[in-house]
Amino acid sequence: MELLNNIAKLHTTELGAVRIKRNLSLDCDDTVVWCREQINSPEAVIERKGKNWYITVNSCIITVNAYSYTIITAHKLKKE
């Protein structure tokens, strides 16, 4: 899997880190490390749609740009 092979390239912007923490109510120092752990999880479902990867794991979706490996955002899955 291309995303997993390039997991070390994963990064985000300052604003991206703030957005991810806010959206997921995270209390961690490094959102990139947290996201990397989630993406590496055996439960993670990874799919590519267009220019982005979408990783569904632990009731949240993480969006990663497929070219730059920038974590764009993450949010909780809405309960139906």
pLDDT tens for 37-58 read 999 999 999 999 999 999 999 9
Residue 31 has pLDDT above 90, yes or no: yes
Higher-pLDDT residue of 79 and 58 is: 58
C-beta separation of 63 from 51 below 8 A: no
**What whole-number distance in Å separates Cα of residue 29 and Cα of residue 52?**
25
Residue 62 has pLDDT above 70, yes or no: yes
